Amino acid sequence: MNVTYDDVCDCAEILHERALAVLVQRLAERPADGGLRWRLAEMLRCTGDLSGALREYRRLAEEGPRREAAGYVAGLLAGDASGAGQYDEAAAPAPFVLLDEALDEAQRSSLWGVVEEQRNAFTSSRVFRYDNAYGVVSADRVSRGLHRGELRGIRDWYTERLGRLIEPCLATLGIAPFVPARWELHLLSYGDGDHFSIHTDTLAREGGTRRAVTAVYYFHRTPRRFTGGDVLLFDTDRRAGQMETRFTRLTPEDNSLLIFPSDCYHQVTPVHGPANLEESRFALVAWMHRG
Ligand SMILES: [Fe+2]
């Protein structure tokens, strides 16, 4: 029997759901158990119930163990990650900002225009393999993308808009302001079965500049006809370049912008849905490069 990447992700999600049910039941029996409440908060964060997780972290920040750490995660989930120094482990939950209604109608229809005009120009996404060659590795990454030339028509206004959206978020992310050395832009379409396994966005071969901030604008037809495509932001020790198995699960809505440091580990869970391009999950990925 062949076990696919989809199978592994599906199994992990079933296990998370079951563990969550057990934790809720045990905490009902021992409501003063701070260790148990911490595990529940972590599990809710992993399953994407961020309002439930926020409720539990706030309670832990008031009366539980690791109050300052709980306060940091609560701040992060409420939109302010600036208290990262208060987290008591090297691998802290990855800071992020998720903005709703990021673009106006004219800007959105401009992006849909690119999808329509360039529909035959999408090419399979590639990754750097362990042997340092750049190529398609379907076990790691499946999506299709438009790149530099095809995005020429949106580049100027989009990066200008992004710059204004990102600037006030840098402090929240714990990143000192900087003037981007350059912007890198890719428009990705995730259709049925597409995914991106765990990775960081930092690249060794970036000729003098490096990716510092990742900003992903999500758009899709509504109501969405696909499932999956969640973003898992893993708890990362950014100094050591290592990650934990804990993560924050985000389900980005249409017209939202997710911003996070490029050196934090993340993953896109498999998408399930129609095969046609228009019903895909689109992600306009931009990287701010530091000089
Ligand atoms: Fe990425």
Per-residue model confidence as pLDDT tens digits over 131-167 = 666 677 777 888 899 988 899 999 999 999 999 999 9
Output the CA–CA distances (angstroms, integers) from residue 44 to 54, 221, 252, 279, in the order listed: 9, 28, 17, 29
CA of 25 to the centre of ligand 1 (A): 36
CA of 145 to the centre of ligand 1 (A): 13
Domain extent listing, the chain: 5-88, 98-290
**pLDDT at position 259, please?**
97
**pLDDT interval class at 174 (50, 70, 90):** confident
CA of 202 to the centre of ligand 1 (A): 9
> Is residue 103 helix, strand or coil?
coil
CATH, domain range 98-290:
2.60.120.620
CA of 227 to the centre of ligand 1 (A): 19
* CA–CA separation, 198 and 141 (whole Å): 9
CA of 211 to the centre of ligand 1 (A): 11
CA of 22 to the centre of ligand 1 (A): 33
**pLDDT at position 82, please?**
80
**pLDDT at position 135, please?**
72
The dihedral built from the CA positions of residue 129, 204, 268 and 117, taken in this order, carries a sign that is negative
pLDDT at 242 over 80: yes
- 211 exposure class (CB count in 10 Å sphere: 0-12, 13-18, 19+): buried
**pLDDT at position 132, please?**
66
**pLDDT interval class at 267 (50, 70, 90):** very high
CA of 147 to the centre of ligand 1 (A): 15
CA of 262 to the centre of ligand 1 (A): 8
| Mean pLDDT, residues 83-96 taken together | 88
More confident residue, 280 or 9: 280
On average, the pLDDT of the chain sits at 90
CA of 238 to the centre of ligand 1 (A): 15
CA of 67 to the centre of ligand 1 (A): 31
CA of 245 to the centre of ligand 1 (A): 17
Count CB atoms within 10 A of the CB of residue 63: 11
**pLDDT at position 126, please?**
75
> For every residue of 181-205, which 3-state class applies, written as one string?
CEEEEEEEEECCCCEEEEECCCCCC
- Cβ neighbors of 229 (< 8 A, separation 6 or more) are 190, 251, 252, 268, 269, 270, 271, 281
CA of 263 to the centre of ligand 1 (A): 9
CA of 83 to the centre of ligand 1 (A): 24
CATH, domain range 5-88:
1.25.40
Same CATH fold assignment for domains 5-88 and 98-290? no
pLDDT tens sequence across 39-60: 999 999 999 999 999 999 999 9
CA of 273 to the centre of ligand 1 (A): 21
CA of 11 to the centre of ligand 1 (A): 23
CA 282 remoteness from chain centre: 13
| Mean pLDDT, residues 89-105 taken together | 95
CA of 252 to the centre of ligand 1 (A): 14
CA of 63 to the centre of ligand 1 (A): 36
CA of 216 to the centre of ligand 1 (A): 9
Residue 58 is encoded by which pair of tokens?
Answer: 């706030």
* CA–CA separation, 118 and 130 (whole Å): 31
**pLDDT at position 172, please?**
86
pLDDT tens sequence across 208-220: 678 999 999 999 9
